[in-house]
Structure 1
Amino acid sequence: MFDEYEVIPAVDMQEGEVVQLVQGERGTEKRYGDPAEAARRWVEAGARTLHLVDLDGAFEGERKNAPAVEAVLETVDGEATVQLGGGIRTAEDAIGLLDRGVDRVILGTAAVENPEIVREVSDEYANSVMVSLDAKGGEVVVSGWTEGTGLDPAEAAARYEELGAGAILFTNVDVEGQLEGVKTGPVERIADAVGIPVVASGGVASLDDVRALKAAGASAVVVGTALYEGSFTLEAVIDAVA
């Protein structure tokens, strides 16, 4: 899935616009314009994968940014891999998106509530499911990071690998969107627990953070706020981990 370590720009969407939230809290968002324009900019800067999240879907359980997703797919047109999450609650939803041209679907709440959905989608599209494990205080949280599950992220990751997940997306909500740096310990635990790629997200503020996550065993890192706020350019961070 990832032949070498990748830096993946985030295109988080709310009400048809790119936004970044602090610790996943609604009302903290800062807006960054049109998703298709952002996608084009990141692809032109060297992104091989784009990370799309329908935040309205994540919070409300129903995808609300489908037109923006369509615009991104048309804009990218195969020039980069597209992974999409947020509001995907059924296998039919996931398979429909894969049929449409999304390369990977990200399942979070749906995978926690019905783990067999991972197997069902993977049987149709091998290595197409990325299970999202978002953690607050060491506990997996769902429904837009608002509900605790009691699950340990590393144990959950191993379970989803057995069910056919092609990758794990781990977001440390405790540091998400704050530009205060990453915590590598949880990433290392998950990477040690599974043989599939682990994609890290949350807290990246510097090139050193990106390098640290690579050293912790991540196969890729999702970067949002730091790119949109100009802490570094995508070209610079790609060069830094080459």
Structure 2
Amino acid sequence: MDVIPAIDILDGRCVRLYQGDYQQSEVFGEDPVEVAQRWYSQGAKYLHVVDLDGAKEGKPQNLKVIEAIARSIPIRVQMGGGLRDRESILSVLNSGVSRVIVGTAAVENSQLIAEICAEFPEQIMIGIDARDGKVATRGWLETSEVMAVDLAKRMTSVGIAGIIYTDIYRDGTMQGPNIEALRQLAENVDVPVIASGGISSIADLLNLLSLESVGVKGAIVGKSIYTGAIQLPEAIRAVGNGRWQDVIDGSAIA
């Protein structure tokens, strides 16, 4: 199972939010590029980058920083935040990012998702961020009536490369992932699922590893690695940095 460090960018800095609340942010680094290089040096094979300003504004706002991250390290970077039209998605893919994560547009414009999946095969992932099972949109500032499992089923039919599932109530809380919600989601789709939100210990990662057989192939770690609750090299050794992306595109990262 892949252990994927998260880099959330707000006002050009690396931060962590509590339950997606922009008013409850904690700065963990002034230079996201330096943070990315740190996680790479500790064994990361993949990075998860979120443009929080972009998620709020509806357009990428930290593209230069994200491009600098992607160009500075020889590993794959997946990025989300404010990607709601073809132009924005193209701008991010052209920046060196390997895969883009689309959230709000999956709820509001499913035709766009179908079109970009056809145009950019294996490069489009869906971010499903849920409150009480319902999908949140627009930087988690709004909650739709769409159920997470229903959206996941609908999106797998258009050729997405995978799903990143976040339980908002667990995000930034260090209270552990929502194992049952992840199991339910993974059992209903046939694409890899990456878990996000609440992961606070090696034990949490081992619990997620038990879901690998149903399709949970990665875990995004955020606050826990910034506070030192989890040491990234130890986490990678504990669960084995798998190759869930190989299932998607048949390639490997040396």
Report the TM-score, using the length of structure 2 for normalisation: 0.90
- Give the letter for the 1:57 counterpart: G
CA RMSD of aligned residues (A): 1.0
Q: Of residues 105, 126, 129 in structure 1, which corresponds to 2:124?
A: 129
2:104 aligned partner = 109
- Give the letter for the 1:31 counterpart: V
Residue 204 of structure 1 and its aligned partner are, at CA, apart by 0.3
- The answer to whether the Cα contact below 8 Å between 2:16 and 2:26 also exists between their aligned partners in 1 is yes
Residue 101 of structure 1 and its aligned partner are, at CA, apart by 1.8
Q: Percent identity?
A: 37
- Give the letter for the 2:236 counterpart: I
How far apart are the structure 1 equivalents of 2:114 and 2:90?
Answer: 12
How far apart are the structure 1 equivalents of 2:201 and 2:132?
Answer: 23
Q: Of residues 204, 208, 212 in structure 1, which corresponds to 2:203?
A: 208
- The answer to whether the Cα contact below 8 Å between 1:138 and 1:153 also exists between their aligned partners in 2 is yes
Residue 22 of structure 1 and its aligned partner are, at CA, apart by 0.3
How far apart are the structure 2 equivalents of 1:48 and 1:20?
Answer: 21
1:38 aligned partner = 35
For structure 1, list consecutive stretches of 5 or more residues without a partner in the other structure.
Answer: none
1:228 aligned partner = 226
- Give the letter for the 1:215 counterpart: S
Q: Secondary structure at the match of 2:23?
A: coil
Instruction: Trace 1:42-191 onto structure 2 (pairs within 5 A).
Output: 42-76=39-73, 79-191=74-186
2:250 aligned partner = none
Q: Secondary structure at the match of 1:150?
A: strand
1:14 aligned partner = 10
| Bigger strand fraction | 2
- How many residues were matched structurally? 236
Report the TM-score, using the length of structure 1 for normalisation: 0.95
Q: Secondary structure at the match of 1:18?
A: strand
